[in-house]
Structure 1
Amino acid sequence: MEEPVDSGSEPILREVGMVRIMMALAGLLIVGAGVAQTPLPLPAEAPITVPNYSDPATWICRPGVDDGTCSANLDAVAIDAQGHRTPVTYAPAKAPKIDCFYIYPTASMDPGTFSDMNPGPEEKRAVHGQFARLGSVCRLFAPIYHQFTIPALRRALAGQAKADSLPFDVPYRDVLAAWRHYLAHDNQGRGVILLGHSQGAILLKRLIAEEIDGKPAQKKLVAAYLAGNPDLTASSFHAIPTCKVIGQTGCIVAWSDYRDGDDNRRAFGAGKPGDPALCVNPASPGGGRAPIKAFLPRPGMAPESDPPYIELIGQLSAECVSDAAGAVLRVRIEPGVYADLLTTALNHAGMPGWGLHPLDMSLPQGNIVDMAAAQSAAWKGR
């Protein structure tokens, strides 16, 4: 059921569309809002122990454990380049054959260096916005962990610390414990997709390198999606290839989003001399430009009758591009009635040197779900 744009109301719709898209993007700028503020003083901190992941309270979501973060309404309205609106009803998988294991990005506003084990609304928003939609493909596992916080990131950036010097040993220790608990008690021979963004991708890169790459656990790997990792290169893994086609399994998808024409790239996609950065487009893993299907949250001013998400169809495309500065996923705004609005919105969403990092998972989210579904079908076919 499509609702065509009425030419007489187009100026009003364009203005409303602008406000909605801008507010939606602003709601996702968790990291961006955090790093732009004045660093907070470091509070006194107690020793941190590894969580007991047999306790259901150490998971944001897993089978039998969910406070709504991974099951709340995920319906959307799809909006195409001509402004047509089509309802998109989300349906969770009834009996998924694979699992998805997700590590959320830097989101916690806890004041210390590391977060506590009581996830705040900002962490839950990240899980719901980036991960919950994968419930249409797989069983969902999202452990809580003592992550490096946004206030700590502000302090680190104020001191010009590099990502490889940040204290990720504590959060990695938790992620490793959660993974091992999952393998021992929940996996039962099932295939698993790993997904992580930003800090989550940094931690999963290490986990894959140490626990999966060339190890028995690699037999269980359906795929890994690592978005916005500042140090992911061709040599990061030895026995795990990058994905080349949509239905390929046992492979890696990795990317960092930048606008077409944004050459201010300091944080992501640089690679190393003789060791290029990894970039695999979730919409076209074999290369080339392809449409991406972005999911963005409904802005607060929208009518309650609207679904909680909007899906952009035919309005954005992306291509992995390699040049002297590295390799990144170049996002382009396609011609359409909202092209000018999206240009302004993405300009506001971008972060100098970081590109569209806050939207790494949201911009190609529909493509991630489609690719994961194809990989699940291929895995079951084995």
Structure 2
Amino acid sequence: MPFLLNLLLATAAQAPADYTEPDHWLCYPGREDICTEDLSATVIEADGETSVVDFPTARDPEVDCFYVYPTVSGDPSPMSDLEADETEEGVTRTQFAPFRTVCRTFAPVYRQVSIQGLRQLFAGSNKGINPAMAYGDVAAAFAYYLENENDGRPFVLVGHSQGTNILTSLIAREIDGKPVQERMLSAMLIGFNVAVDESGDRGSFKNLAPCKDERETGCVISYVSFKSDAPPPQDARFGRPAEEGTEVLCTNPGDLGGSGPAALDAILPAAAYGTSGRPPAPWVKGQEIKTPFVKVPGLISGSCMKEDGASFLLISVDADPDDPRTDDIGGEVQVAGTILRSWGLHLHDVGLAQGDLIGLVESQAAAYRAKD
């Protein structure tokens, strides 16, 4: 999906949002907001036994996490406004709020290319679409964070889809090769193509390489996910490089240095992602799930694959006829009941490995602390 990058370069920036305004943050430390709400999860074991766990807010964490959400705005205009509604709130709660267990949470509201704008782009029209405005808002929010909240603290960047696209540009312009890079534990750039050269090393960035060890810092974690029985088609939105001589980065959060399948610590929503997401089957026979999230230990695994010119995180659901848990986890994008296979498991990208990503923040923070 190179069109957003091209538009970002071609469109003119407008005055960014004012991030001294509390309403321009979905999550901000020291207050009650999306990132402090109920995040309990039902853990469903292979034998069908269940228990409930919470994601408690860390006390005085030494790390900050800065998140940019994906394309979710249902505003009727091609660019969203600065009034967050249930779509922005919902995806932030699902993808980012669990990080509160390891870091202070920062999530700005920004004027993004809306779902309506994305439909226009797919139809060949960029009228009224201004990705530079989206970038300008996020850049201003990050600058506000650095000036007013960072105080030399290590931080992690977390993005998905359009959020990853924006963060990729932000890193290239404002972080890569600059002093602030020393404080970046990692950039978790999920659900959008991040380029590397054919050696699997640098591509989108000059001085940032893929993470290859859980205690490595100053590196990049990125992947796009597809089910094992539905790999990227030729028209895949993600996983296929835009330029010759490059490939799409895949780092497996379950095993950064490994090449084979690894169990993933998934934290998935118990229900569907709005009307555009195909819902899962009932998670376990004969039981109603009453928590916002589920965890299914040992059910889901992932491995980075290169196949037919595509690079992606291959997701396997380890079906077992004796396991009462469902093998149908949903997560595909669908329109009028038709699954859009070109999108893979886009809606599940973050959740499939969210527990692993949170664990990596802990490991990287420990490694950073050991350097001091």
Common fold, TM-score beyond 0.5?
Answer: yes
Aligned partner of 1:15 in structure 2 is none
Alignment of 1:53-132 (within 5 A): 53-67=19-33, 69-132=34-97
> Given the alignment, which residue of 212, 227, 231 partners 2:190?
227
Deviations 1:240-297 (A, max 9, x none): 1111112211110000000113234311111232111111011111122101122222
TM-fit CA distance, 1:344: 6.9
Instruction: Give the counterpart letter for 1:276 in structure 2.
Output: E
How many residue pairs align between the two structures?
331
Aligned to 1:158: 123
Question: Using the alignment, how far apart are the partners of 2:54 and 2:75 within structure 1?
Answer: 35
Aligned equivalents of 2:108, 2:90: Cα separation in 1: 14
User: Out of 248, 270, 274, which is 2:245 matched to?
Assistant: 274
Q: Does 1:259 align with 2:227?
A: yes
1:96/1:107 CA distance change after superposition, 3 Å: same
Note the alpha carbon deviations across 1:67-124, whole angstroms, 9 max, x for none: 3x11111111111333222322221110100100000000110111111111000100
Deviations 1:213-245 (Å, cap 9, x if unpaired)?
A: 111110110111011113533410111111111
Distance in 2 between the 1:179 and 1:348 partners?
A: 30
Give distance in 2, aligned partners of 1:201 and 1:183: 19
Distance verdict in 2 for CA 1:379–1:270, change over 3 Å = same
| 2:316 partner letter | R
Report the residue type matching 1:270 in the other structure: R
Preserved contact between residue 19 and residue 140 of structure 2 (Cα < 8 Å): yes
Paired residue for 2:136? 173
Q: Does 1:290 align with 2:279?
A: no
Give yes or no for the alignment of 1:182 onto 2:138: no
SS of structure 1 residue aligned to 2:52: strand
SS in 2 for 1:70: helix
Q: Secondary structure at the match of 2:264?
A: strand
For the aligned residues, what is the CA RMSD?
A: 2.4
Unaligned runs of 5+ in 2: 1-12, 198-202, 273-281
Structure 1 residue 320 displacement after superposition: 0.6
CA-to-partner distance for each residue in 1:143-163, whole Å, 9 max, x for gaps? Answer: 1100110111112212388xx
Q: Which moved more, 1:370-379 or 1:325-334?
A: 370-379
Corresponding residue number in structure 1 for 2:306: 322
Change (3 A) 1:367 1:351: farther
SS of 2:248's equivalent? coil
Q: Give the corresponding residue for 2:366.
A: 377
Hey, which of these two has a bigger chunk of helix by percent?
Answer: 1
- From 326, 330, 334, give the equivalent of 1:341: 326
Indicate the SS of the match to 1:365.
Answer: helix
Q: Which moved more, 1:218-227 or 1:262-271?
A: 262-271
Does residue 240 (structure 1) correspond to residue 208 (structure 2)? The answer is yes
Q: Tell me by how many angstroms 1:48 deviates.
A: 5.9
Equivalent in the alignment of 1:24: none
Percent identity, aligned pairs only? 34
Query: Is the partner of 1:196 in helix, strand or coil?
Result: strand
